[in-house]
Amino acid sequence: MSYCELCGRQNAEKLKVIVDGTVFNVCVACSKHGKPYVAPQLAAKRKKQAPARQTSRITMSDQTMLTPDFAGLIRDARMKMGLTHEQLAMKMNEKVQLLRKYETGALKPDEVLAKKLERFLGIRLYVRSDDAAGDGR
């Protein structure tokens, strides 16, 4: 016979719940204070299904690449819109210093931020790698 780790009563049923990130063996009455505990083996099975959905994102990033002149494209598009760094940062909800580093080429935007820049500025920063290879010939 075990005891409830929350109230101390004798516990005939072994229920496991998570309360504030900690797993407790509790009685039925105390089980309402937490979320049911899912064993790691079950959680691992659920996670194995998730990467199948993410594979398309990985293959997409393998097929695309950042244009070499991304800094100039960002700067030209911002200036064409008549925006300062601060105004663009406010519009995009991003940090001013981050945008400045992209414009100088000191930092390369990842795909997520590049898509955001493309949407706000109306430019293309990531292109298909086979298109870029065709342009270089």
Is it true that domain 64-135 has CATH number 1.10.10.10?
A: no
What does pLDDT average to over the chain? 80
Residues near 36 by beta carbon (within 8 Å), at least 6 away in sequence: 16, 17, 18
**How many C-alpha atoms does 87 have within 13 Å on its Cβ side?**
7
Band of residue 137 on the pLDDT scale cut at 50, 70, 90: very low
Band of residue 5 on the pLDDT scale cut at 50, 70, 90: confident
Query: What's the confidence (pLDDT) of residue 103?
Result: 92
pTM above 0.95, yes or no: no
Query: How does pLDDT run across 59-101, given as a tens digit for each residue?
Result: 445 677 888 899 999 999 999 999 999 999 999 899 999 999 9
Running DSSP on this structure, what letter comes out for residue 39? Answer: P
Q: Where are the domains of the chain?
A: 2-36, 64-135
- 30 vs 7: CA distance, rounded Å: 7
